[in-house]
């Protein structure tokens, strides 16, 4: 199903990221990485070394992602947003 990709330059209050750490999300390295952007861990993602973090007002997701990616102990960062179906190019039935 075609979808609209998330935008990385979100600056609204409460933008969320999914961050994958080398160690556990509650490790000292993960906490230090989160502090560099003022992020607050909301919840760990089950089955791995990732967590959903919330950004403070005033920092864009794009800026926070770049800063987090540069931190030791951070493996991967992505925007946590819902994908929505494109109503104009949605699924075609019968093809």
Is residue 53 situated within a structural domain?
Answer: yes
**pLDDT tens digits in sequence order for the chain, 95 residues long:** 444 444 444 445 579 999 999 999 999 999 999 999 999 999 999 888 999 999 999 999 999 999 999 999 999 999 997 656 667 766 555 55
DSSP state of 32: H
Is residue 93 situated within a structural domain?
Answer: no
Domain count of the fold of the chain: 1
Question: Over the stretch 61-82, which tens digit does the pLDDT of each residue have?
Answer: 999 999 999 999 999 999 997 6
Is residue 4 situated within a structural domain?
Answer: no
Is residue 86 situated within a structural domain?
Answer: no
Structure-token pair, residue 74: 């951070």
Residue 56 has what pLDDT?
A: 96
The domain that holds 71 is classified in CATH as 3.30.70.80
Is residue 1 situated within a structural domain?
Answer: no
Q: Is the pTM of this model over 0.75?
A: no
CB 39 within 8 A of CB 15: no
Is residue 31 situated within a structural domain?
Answer: yes
- Domain around 23: 14-81
**73-to-9, 14, 55, 82 alpha-carbon distances in Å:** 23, 24, 19, 26
């Amino acid at each position: 199903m075609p979808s609209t990709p998330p935008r990385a330059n979100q600056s609204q209050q409460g933008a969320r990221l999914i961050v994958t750490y080398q160690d556990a999300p509650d490790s000292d390295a993960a906490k230090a990485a989160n502090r560099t952007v003022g992020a607050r861990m909301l919840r760990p993602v089950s089955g791995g070394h990732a967590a959903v973090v919330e950004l403070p007002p005033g920092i864009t997701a794009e800026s926070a992602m770049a800063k987090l990616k540069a931190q030791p102990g951070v493996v991967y960062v992505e925007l946590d947003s819902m994908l929505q179906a494109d109503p104009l190019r949605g699924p075609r039935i019968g093809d």
